[in-house]
Amino acid sequence: MTMNGADQFGRGFSFVLLISIAAGALSCFAADGTWNWETLEPLNGTTPTNMALWNTSANWLDNAPPAGDTAVAFLVPSNRLTTMAPYGERFIRVPDAGVDIGEINIRQSATLYLTGGPVRFGIRSTLTSIPRIRDEGVSCTAYYYCPIDFTRKGTTLNRAYFCGPVLYQTGTTLASSATVRYYANAWATNTDTVVTNPFPDAVFSPGSGECCFLPRMSAEAQTGTWQTFAGSPILLRAGAAHDLAAGATVSGEGIPEGAFVKCIYSNSAIELSVNCTADSGESGVAVNFGAFQNVRTVQHITRLQNQATGNSVLSHYFSKYRAEDLFDVYVDDIGGRVDLSMVPNNQRSFATNQVAYYPARIFSFLKALRQSARGISGFGIRISSSIPRTAQPSP
């Protein structure tokens, strides 16, 4: 039988419609998952040396890890009403290939460390129309050492401590409430002492709380006593505490050549860029940390603004740990009711609990200076707004 043009169009249209519906159904598929804090797995995440694996089914209630780029990863059960403090900390390693979800949801004073491969967020979650990291109810402490990828859509954050790369499309909006901190001193991907844009080049738009930016930190050469584990990049301190710098070279028995400090979890636990080749035993071995000096952090930011209603003034903190380090911030635009004058007194390093109270140098435009003049005072922060963009000091 010969089909006329209308019949051909109709069948073709139906076929395309079916394909579109099927594709939509697949893209909308998502299964939420809830972390199992009472897992019986040997790798249960109670210490950095036995990190729980994200993709181990038994580490999720009902053996069901979150699946799909709109899925919610409930790292604390959504019906939890009492504090998670008795459970202690949890270290979770994301697979090197990464995972795709729509939301991370936590609550009830949980303390979490996520490390490993990237966590890629979709364009929404099953709970809301946007991707987000959400701290529900009683505050939690969650440190994200793994790369966080929000390149598909701007997002909202409610209390998050980023200790690794945060990936964004330049100029997208990062809305937040409560406290959001960016610790460039907690991670490194190489041994460079000059780092550019360790934080997102985005529009930072808090509605409450503040945004805090801490740069890479220098350290003199050190020798300490640390415990090594064959086949693991983790070192645990077995001697006296000393300064640590992400990016510093590391050498010693059982440590391969070229190793450097990749992550600093605390002054007692760090992760190297390579696995160790020997077990030191509980007494540990002498580990040498190379000098990490002449440090400069350069950051470009599209805009700093305030989305709070009324007359609330919100702070964006840019401060460094050592006077000799350089921290230069270039801001295209600053909105009204934004305070850049404050230097926090409680943002401590992961190494020696040194307070970050030295201000950064901030460069912006004349328009930005006029808009935020009432929020800037003489705390050593310099706004070089009269310098044309092309004449500003080169990053």
Give pLDDT tens digits for 133-176.
998 777 788 999 999 999 988 888 888 899 999 998 877 888 88
Distance (Å, whole) CA 214 – CA 105: 25
Q: What is the pLDDT of residues 86-113, one digit of tens each?
A: 999 999 999 999 999 999 999 899 999 9
What is residue 336's predicted lDDT score, i.e. its pLDDT? 83
Structure tokens at 125: 């979650």
> Is residue 246 predicted with pLDDT exceeding 60?
yes
Helix, strand or coil for residue 26?
helix
Identify the H or E element spanning 8: helix 5-28
> Is residue 34 predicted with pLDDT exceeding 80?
yes
- Cβ-contact 203, 305 below 8 angstroms: yes
Domain boundaries, the chain: 33-217+295-391, 222-289
Q: CB neighbours (10 Å) of residue 138?
A: 16
For 11, phi then psi, to 5°, come to: -70, -40
Model confidence at 307, pLDDT cuts 50, 70, 90, reads confident
Q: What is the pLDDT of residues 273-302, one digit of tens each?
A: 999 999 999 999 999 999 999 999 999 999
13 vs 36, which has greater pLDDT? 36
Most confident listed range (5-9, 12-16, 108-112, 309-313): 108-112
What is residue 210's predicted lDDT score, i.e. its pLDDT? 82
Q: What is the pLDDT of residues 180-214, one digit of tens each?
A: 899 999 999 999 999 999 999 988 888 888 888 99
Of the listed ranges 1-15, 27-41, 105-119, 258-272, the one predicted with least confidence = 1-15
Closest CA to 368 of 329, 395, 331: 331
What is residue 386's predicted lDDT score, i.e. its pLDDT? 28
Q: What is the average pLDDT score of the chain?
A: 84
Q: What is the share, in percent, of the chain residues with pLDDT greater than 90?
A: 58
DSSP states along 322-391 = -TTSEEEEEEEEE-SSEE-----SS-B-SSS--B--EEPEEE--HHHHHHHGGG--SSS--B-TTS-GGG
> Is residue 367 predicted with pLDDT exceeding 80?
no
pTM: 0.85
What is residue 11's predicted lDDT score, i.e. its pLDDT? 45
Helix, strand or coil for residue 391?
helix
> Is residue 57 predicted with pLDDT exceeding 70?
yes
Q: Region 356-374: what's the mean pLDDT?
A: 65
- Tokens 């050592």: give the residue: 322
Distance (Å, whole) CA 119 – CA 108: 22
> Is residue 394 predicted with pLDDT exceeding 90?
no
What is residue 345's predicted lDDT score, i.e. its pLDDT? 62
What is residue 393's predicted lDDT score, i.e. its pLDDT? 39
Identify the H or E element spanning 272: strand 269-272
Q: CB neighbours (10 Å) of residue 123?
A: 15
Closest CA to 245 of 211, 205, 284, 195: 195
- Cβ-contact 76, 86 below 8 angstroms: no
C-alpha distance from residue 237 to each of 258, 285, 346, 360 (Å)? 20, 10, 24, 31
Identify the H or E element spanning 235: strand 234-237
Helix, strand or coil for residue 374?
helix
What is residue 29's predicted lDDT score, i.e. its pLDDT? 60
Closest CA to 183 of 143, 150, 155: 143
What is residue 30's predicted lDDT score, i.e. its pLDDT? 78
- Tokens 């509980």: give the residue: 282
What is residue 349's predicted lDDT score, i.e. its pLDDT? 67
Tell which phi-psi region holds residue 281, choosing left (phi > 0), alpha (psi between -120 and 50) or beta. Answer: left
- Cβ-contact 360, 391 below 8 angstroms: no
What is residue 351's predicted lDDT score, i.e. its pLDDT? 59
Q: Region 24-44: what's the mean pLDDT?
A: 80
Q: What is the pLDDT of residues 10-33, one digit of tens each?
A: 444 343 344 333 334 434 567 999
What is residue 177's predicted lDDT score, i.e. its pLDDT? 80
